[in-house]
Structure formats: structure tokens, C-alpha cells
Amino acid sequence: MPRRPAYRWDGKDDIVTFTLGSARISPPVLLAPLAGITDLPFRRLVSRFGTGLVVSEMVASQEVVQARPLARARAELGFGEQATSVQLAGREPYWMAEAARYVADQGAQVIDINMGCPAKKVTTGYSGSALMKDPDHALRLIEAVVGAVDVPVTLKTRLGWNDDCLNAPDLARRAEGAGVRMVTIHGRTRCQFYKGRADWAAIRRVTEAVGVPVIANGDIVDAATARRALELSGACGVMVGRGAQGRPWALAQIAADLFGTAAPVIPQGAALADLVAGHYDDMLSFYGRDLGVKVARKHLGWYLETAGREDSRSAVLTAEDPARVVRLIRAALSSPEREAA
């Protein structure tokens, strides 16, 4: 029998509402953790438009404790930022617990456990979605993290390792028993990577297995796909990843269309150029000039694609001088006839 949900629908606005510690998750439209993409500047920008929760890039548990420079740089995790979750990955209960204590002591409001990343460099280290092949070990990691901290712990997984190992419902049920407060399911197996289409209907087996909030993830890029994912999965909310690339307002637009929240003002023309230039400046400040110029290029490419200005892509992405990059961005995006979609 389906479990009684541990969340409620607001009668007035028909918006699902639940809390994770001090974070009130409403509307239930969340930003997915994307390695190399959802850094602090991007999360702040998405939050400005409005979203229920943003999740940091995946942080390797042992590295963040041992303070390796790269991990420490990525651990600019937005401690104290509103509605922010810190995602940890690892394979050893000791290091996961130590990392959880560290980020909680630094001010993390929510801790998310990554058991969904399909990347070979992660799964060959027996982390990410590889943990779904050994649910007993996965549960030990979950118990270690939950037992180490007082802040809410959530879990992100896939449907299973492959079509012969669709064990997300059982893992979610056991995770709930261990104290996990929310589960996000990407509607693919690990062996699918990002091929084919996300199976939102398969997520329903998880929503019927647990009482904690379940969030649907995978191929959700706009209101139509979000609505269909909710209908098929029975989930209480959605998580958007690649759909936000070049469109930091996408989550707020989905929330407005589905739940009646305030619609975002989607920037066009000179306003879009101002937004992109501001994001670019934030990335340079965050990473430093040399690294920032390189890291920002993928975001600039997505903005140009969204605005229909791929003809300017080569010039913008090969420019090395930040001032020239900004001039090219403004020239490409400010024309009133070239508006963002």
C-alpha cells in the first residue's frame, strides 16, 4: 500500500509544501546538482529568479575533509545562502560522516547524498550510482551521514544500475527508515547514462514505497515536461538540470506555469546582455580571471544558443580579454530584434 505522504498541499495556492530543517521547499521546483555547472555564481542567479531549493555541485567527501585545493574551491558551497543543499559523494562511511560533519559545521542547511552520478570516474571508485549495486553498503553510508549531523539528509539516485537491477523503491524505503527526509529519482538507470528518455512512470514505484517527498528528475526542461513528469510519477516536485542551462529563469517559469507563483521577468535584448555580463563578472570574481574566462565559456555558449545568436559563438568563446568578451556579448544580445526565447 502507498505510504501516507509526509508533506502537504497548500489549499490556497495548490502548491506542495514541506520543510527540510530551516529550509521551506516551496514551490517544489529544484535545481539539480551538475558538476562544473551549478557553481555558486549560477546557483545565486537561479535563486534570484526563484526556486524551491538549489543543490551544490557534487563534492568528494574525503577530498573536502582533507582540504585538497580543487575540492576546497568547489566547496564554496553557499553556506548561509537561502535554500541551499550540499551534495556529498563517496564510498566510505567514515569519510562521508566526516564530510557531513564538516559541511554542517560550516553552515550547510541540507546534505544530499549522491547515489545517482553515472560518470565512469565516479562509479569505478564505487561511488555515485555504483552504490545501487550494493544496497547494504549504500545503507551503511546513509546511516553514517544521518547519524553524524542534525541537519536534514536527502538522497539522489537513479532507477537502478541497469534494467535487471531496478531497486530504487527498496533503497528509498530503507533510506527513509534510516532517517532520509527526501528522495530524488532520475528516471534512468546508470547504464542508460543520458540516452533515451527518462521513464517518469517508473518513478511512481518509489513514490508509492515511501512517505517522504519524492522529486522527479530527468528530461524536465519546461512546464509541459514538468507537468507530465508529475502526472506519471506521482512525485510532489521536479528537479531541473540541463533545462536551466542558458535559462536561469527556467525554474521560476515552470513554478509559475504549474503552481501559480509569480512569473519571472524573462530578460531580453539589453536586459539579457546585462544579465549575462553580470554572470560573467561573478564567475571571474569567483574563479579568478584566467580560470574564470575558461569556465564561463560553456555558460556563454548556452546564453547565445538561447538567444538565437549562435553566429556570435566563435567570436565570444575564443576571446581571451574579459573586456572584449563583454563587448561582444552586448553587441550580440542587445539588438531588440534578437530576443531571448
149 by DSSP, 3-state: which?
coil
Lowest-pLDDT range of 23-27, 32-36, 51-55, 126-130: 126-130
Which residue type does 167 have?
N
pLDDT of 63 above 60: yes
Determine contact, residues 158/132, Cβ cutoff 8 Å: yes
DSSP string over 184-248: EEESS-GGGTT-S---HHHHHHHHTT-SS-EEEESS--SHHHHHHHHHHH--SEEEESGGGTT-T
Tally of domains within the chain: 2
Per-residue pLDDT, 81: 66
Determine contact, residues 240/32, Cβ cutoff 8 Å: yes
In whole angstroms, give the CA distance from residue 201 to residue 141.
Answer: 28
Could you read off the pLDDT of 300-327 as tens digits, one per residue? Answer: 999 999 999 999 999 999 999 999 999 9
Q: What is the overall mean pLDDT for the chain?
A: 86
Asked if residue 184 and residue 56 are part of one domain, the reply reads: yes
Please give the residue that has the higher pLDDT: either 234 or 123.
234
Whether 3 is in a domain gets the answer no
Provide the pLDDT confidence category of residue 147 given band limits of 50, 70 and 90.
very high
Residue 95: CATH number of its domain: 3.20.20.70
Per-residue pLDDT, 16: 65
Which of 259, 292, 323 represents a domain boundary (last residue)?
259
Asked if residue 210 and residue 109 are part of one domain, the reply reads: yes
298 annotated as a binding-site residue: no
Whether 136 is in a domain gets the answer yes
Could you read off the pLDDT of 101-114 as tens digits, one per residue? Answer: 988 888 888 999 99
- By percentage, how much of the chain surpasses pLDDT 90? 64
pLDDT of 75 above 50: no
66 annotated as a binding-site residue: no
In whole angstroms, give the CA distance from residue 119 to residue 113.
Answer: 16
Q: What's the N-to-C CA distance of the chain in angstroms?
A: 44
pLDDT of 195 above 80: no
Per-residue pLDDT, 35: 86
Give the number of other Cβ atoms within 10 Å of residue 187's Cβ: 26
Asked if residue 178 and residue 295 are part of one domain, the reply reads: no
Please give the residue that has the higher pLDDT: either 251 or 193.
251
Q: Which helix (H) or strand (E) holds 100?
A: helix 93-105
C-alpha cell at 242: 540541463
Determine contact, residues 229/22, Cβ cutoff 8 Å: no
Whether 156 is in a domain gets the answer yes
Which of 230, 259, 288 represents a domain boundary (last residue)?
259
Asked if residue 314 and residue 202 are part of one domain, the reply reads: no
Provide the pLDDT confidence category of residue 173 given band limits of 50, 70 and 90.
very high
Asked if residue 273 and residue 240 are part of one domain, the reply reads: no
Whether 151 is in a domain gets the answer yes
Contacts of 308 (CB under 8 A, 6+ apart): 338, 341
Please give the residue that has the higher pLDDT: either 61 or 271.
271
C-alpha cell at 93: 562511511
Asked if residue 326 and residue 207 are part of one domain, the reply reads: no
Asked if residue 134 and residue 71 are part of one domain, the reply reads: yes
**Is 191 noted as a catalytic residue in this protein?**
no
Whether 338 is in a domain gets the answer no
186 annotated as a binding-site residue: yes
- Quote the pTM value: 0.89
- Catalytic residue, chosen from 117, 165, 191, 236, is 117
Residue 198 belongs to what domain range? 8-259
Contacts of 265 (CB under 8 A, 6+ apart): none
Determine contact, residues 341/307, Cβ cutoff 8 Å: yes
In whole angstroms, give the CA distance from residue 113 to residue 152.
Answer: 11
Asked if residue 65 and residue 137 are part of one domain, the reply reads: yes
Per-residue pLDDT, 72: 46
228 annotated as a binding-site residue: no
Whether 237 is in a domain gets the answer yes
Asked if residue 194 and residue 249 are part of one domain, the reply reads: yes
In whole angstroms, give the CA distance from residue 276 to residue 172.
Answer: 39
Whether 2 is in a domain gets the answer no
Asked if residue 291 and residue 249 are part of one domain, the reply reads: no
pLDDT of 131 above 90: no
Whether 213 is in a domain gets the answer yes
Asked if residue 294 and residue 171 are part of one domain, the reply reads: no
- The CA-CA-CA angle for residues 10, 6, 32, to 5°, reads 80
Which of 259, 281, 315 represents a domain boundary (last residue)?
259
Report, as an integer, the average pLDDT of 10-25: 66
Q: Edge to edge, what strands does the sheet with 23-25 contain? A: 8-9, 16-20, 23-25
pLDDT of 80 above 80: no
Asked if residue 218 and residue 288 are part of one domain, the reply reads: no
pLDDT of 339 above 70: no
Per-residue pLDDT, 8: 46
